[in-house]
Amino acid sequence: MMSRGLRWPRLVTSADRRTKEAQGRHEQADAFRRTMMPHMDAAYNLARYLTRDANMAEDIVQDAYLRAYRSFDTWRGEAAKPWLLMIVRNCFLNSVGGAPERFAGRPIHDYVGELPPELIDVSTPESLLAEKNEAAMLRATIEQLPEPFRETLVLRELEELSYKEIAAIAQVPIGTIMSRLARARQMVADLLLPETAREARR
């Protein structure tokens, strides 16, 4: 729908070539702004939860927008938000020295059953419960989730993306996303819903 306007016959017929090129570039910029700018909060939100750092997140979003703009001609009119978020994620992976194995390489079964030790080390339920602000506590909990569970949870619960869209962004099968999401929710439940968690883990 966004590109519909571009396909209409142009009323401008006598424009010279240079003007046309400039016009094309500006149509492109115009279309880019209309489709991608509304998702800047989503891009920043994802970058923020990936980096856990406001400055890094800004740099990654700006980098992502530049790449998105330069590869905008490869955008085929699919949902704009997941398309942009995939670029954000790739920019993040590049920024941390291209360590995608942190995300994709670890088999999901490593985590089934018990909480990963690094999660408990960093923030025990007690220290989290000491936080007064419930939102801050929840935010800290999500930030402490190990990848790839954190990004899966953020993309699903905060960005409301479908399993299919998340799978496309993380470049793994949908089944993997389902397992990660289930595990991520279980981790949050274990940390923040003590009673139910205990019952569920009998």
Partner 1 sequence: MSLHPEKLLLIHGLVDGELDAANAIAIEAHLKGCADCRAELEQIQAVRDLIAAAPLHERAPESLHKRIDLMIDAEAGPAPRASAAPGRPGFEPGRFAWAGSGMAAHVFSGRWASGLVTGLVAASLALAVVMPQLTHTDMEDQLVQSHVRSLLVGHLVDIPTSNRHVVKPWFNGKVDFAPPVPELADEGFPLVGGRLDYIDDHEIAAIVYRRRLHVINLFVRPAHTLSLPGGVVMRHDGYSLARWTEGGLEYWAVSDVDPADLKLFRHVYVSRATP
What are the residues binding partner 1 (CB under 8 A)?
Answer: 1, 4-12, 14-15, 19-20, 22-23, 25-30, 32-34, 37-38, 40-41, 43-45, 48-49, 57-58, 61-62, 65-66, 69-70, 113, 134-135, 138-139, 142, 153, 156-158, 160, 162-163, 175, 178-179, 181-182, 185, 188-189, 192-193, 196-197, 199-201
What's the min distance (Å) between Cβ of 172 and partner 1? 14
What's the min distance (Å) between Cβ of 34 and partner 1? 7
What's the min distance (Å) between Cβ of 195 and partner 1? 10
Buried b (16+ CB within 10 A) or exposed e, 183-192: bbebbbebbb
CA 22/CA 39 separation, integer angstroms? 26
> Nearest Cα to 108, choosing from 197, 181, 190?
181
Strands (E), the chain: none
- The residue (of 63 and 90) whose beta carbon lies closer to partner 1 is 63
For the chain, helix, strand, coil in percent to 5 are 75, 0, 25
